[in-house]
Amino acid sequence: MRMRLARPVDLVLIVVVCAIATARPATAQSTVTVDIVSISGDQSFARNPVSVSAGGSLVWSNRDLFVHRIVLDDGSLDTGNIVPGASSAPLGVTTNGGAYHCTIHPGMVGTVTVATTPTVTGQPANRTVVVGGTARFTASVTGAPTPAMQWQVSSNGGTSWTNLADGSPYSGATTTALTVTGVPAGFSGFRYRLVATNSAGSATSNAAALTVVTFGHGPVGDFDGDTKVDITVYSPSSGVWLSSGRAPISRRPRRMRGGRARTFPCPATTTGISHLISRCSGPRQASGTS
């Protein structure tokens, strides 16, 4: 009796071990199935547009009542005739995809997109703004399908990051251009980065730092975020006019013409200067664009 009981147990153990040993991981190159559902223009296919990973394959399954033949417009893919209830063989997409149609019913159209991992082609730059000013961070991204964008902020030097959402002081939190308006002094040192994600993967930009300075007492910088140097001029209670770099100016500006202060020389090179802002300790102030 003991021998008879041992054999079934031994057999079960052997089967389990074999099943584990022969298991295979899923292939990295996915196969995507597109159902043909009707003759209805761009609504003829259950998935349209359809995205497939680079090196992946497509299968068209005919759920309609008529024979169909699907081809890419560039001729690089042809399913042959697919009868109702049947499917095409898996067809590798060797091009960048594109539009396709049914040769038997030309009004049936769709689009294949070959997914590519997002790439950050333009990095956001550091920004220096005056308290209450506006900072703008921009980045450039490629990828297919078009990646979803998400700006993040770190207030601890990049140790941790938080997704941003539109709402004062932020706008453009899910685009390639983030705007921070009415920047408070407490934002100085914050870092910003863009995360781009699609079905093929994700990419993260470099972190760009925000520096916030007190009006007229910070270094010459891009206070309005347009990538051009701005000059500020400030008169403290002493009445001595200073540039943003604290260099004394010989005369007090009296008027702005065409966006330029004509009554005193600029304290720095005018190359790349976009704004010249002057302010005194009293109510008189002026600003302009050069």
* Full DSSP string of the chain: -HHHHHHHHHHHHHHHHHHHHH--PPPSS-EEEEEE--S-GGGSBSSSSEEEETT-EEEEEE-SSS-EEEEETTSS-EEEEE-TT-BPPPEE--S-EEEEEESSSTT-EEEEEEEEEEEEEEPPPPEEEETT--EEEE-EEEEESPPEEEEEEESSTTSS-EE--SBTTEE-TTSSEEEE-S--GGGTT-EEEEEEEETTEEEEPPPEEEEEE-TTTS-SB-TTSSSSEEEEEE--TT---EETT--B-SS----EETTEE-SS--SS--TTEEEEEEE-SSS-EEEEE-
Dmax (CA) for the chain in angstroms is 114
pLDDT for 102 equals: 97
Identify whether residues 202 and 237 lie together within a single domain.
Answer: no
Residue ending a domain, among 148, 181, 213, is: 213
Q: What is the mean pLDDT of residues 157-179?
A: 97
pLDDT for 239 equals: 43
Q: pLDDT > 90: what percent of the chain? A: 49
Q: What is the mean pLDDT of residues 286-290?
A: 34
Identify whether residues 160 and 108 lie together within a single domain.
Answer: no
Identify whether residues 103 and 79 lie together within a single domain.
Answer: yes
Q: What are the pLDDT digits (tens) for 235-276?
A: 444 444 444 444 444 444 443 334 333 333 334 433 443 444
Mean pLDDT score across all residues of the chain: 74
Identify whether residues 40 and 110 lie together within a single domain.
Answer: yes
What lies within 8 Å, CB to CB, of 138 at 6+ separation is: 122, 124, 176, 177, 178
* CATH number of the domain within which 144 lies: 2.60.40.10
- Establish how many alpha carbons lie within 13 A of residue 254's alpha carbon, considering only the half-sphere containing its beta carbon: 5
pLDDT for 228 equals: 52
- Write out the residue range of the structural domain in which residue 111 sits: 31-115
Q: Looking at per-residue confidence, does 54 or 216 come out higher?
A: 54
Q: How many domains does the chain have?
A: 3
Q: Is residue 13 assigned to a domain?
A: no
Query: What's the one-letter identity of residue 68?
Result: H
Q: Is residue 222 assigned to a domain?
A: no
Whole-angstrom CA distances from 290 to 226, 249, 253, 264, 272 are 13, 19, 15, 15, 9
Q: Is residue 25 assigned to a domain?
A: no
Instruction: Identify whether the C-beta of residue 200 lies closer than 8 Å to the C-beta of residue 117.
Output: yes
Q: Is residue 55 assigned to a domain?
A: yes
Q: What is the mean pLDDT of residues 57-73?
A: 95
Q: What is the mean pLDDT of residues 160-178?
A: 97
Identify whether residues 167 and 198 lie together within a single domain.
Answer: yes
Instruction: Reply yes or no on whether the pLDDT at 28 is more than 60.
Output: no
Identify whether residues 101 and 127 lie together within a single domain.
Answer: no
Rounded distance between C-alpha atoms, residue 272 and residue 265, angstroms: 16
Identify whether residues 144 and 94 lie together within a single domain.
Answer: no
Identify whether residues 49 and 90 lie together within a single domain.
Answer: yes
Q: What are the pLDDT digits (tens) for 135-161?
A: 999 999 999 889 999 999 999 999 999
Q: Is residue 22 assigned to a domain?
A: no
For the chain, the straight-line distance linking the first and the last C-alpha, in angstroms and rounded, comes to 102
Identify whether residues 197 and 252 lie together within a single domain.
Answer: no
Rounded distance between C-alpha atoms, residue 33 and residue 60, angstroms: 6
Residue ending a domain, among 213, 239, 261, is: 213
Structure confidence at residue 115 as a pLDDT band (50, 70, 90)? confident
Q: Is residue 107 assigned to a domain?
A: yes
Q: Is residue 7 assigned to a domain?
A: no
Q: Is residue 157 assigned to a domain?
A: yes
Rounded distance between C-alpha atoms, residue 192 and residue 249, angstroms: 36
Q: pLDDT > 70: what percent of the chain? A: 63
Instruction: Reply yes or no on whether the pLDDT at 106 is more than 80.
Output: yes
Peptide bond into 184 cis (omega under 30): no
Instruction: Identify whether the C-beta of residue 100 lies closer than 8 Å to the C-beta of residue 73.
Output: yes
Identify whether residues 175 and 251 lie together within a single domain.
Answer: no
The tokens for 101 are 């149609």
* CATH number of the domain within which 100 lies: 2.60.40.420
- The residues facing 98 across adjacent strands are 112
Identify whether residues 186 and 267 lie together within a single domain.
Answer: no
Q: What is the mean pLDDT of residues 179-194?
A: 96
The residue to which tokens 């994700």 are assigned: 202
Structure confidence at residue 93 as a pLDDT band (50, 70, 90)? confident
The residue to which tokens 């010989």 are assigned: 250
pLDDT for 56 equals: 86
Work out the angle at residue 232's Cα, subtended by the Cα atoms of residues 229 and 234, and round it to the nearest 5 degrees: 165
Identify whether residues 110 and 128 lie together within a single domain.
Answer: no
Residue ending a domain, among 55, 83, 115, is: 115
Q: What is the pTM of this model?
A: 0.56
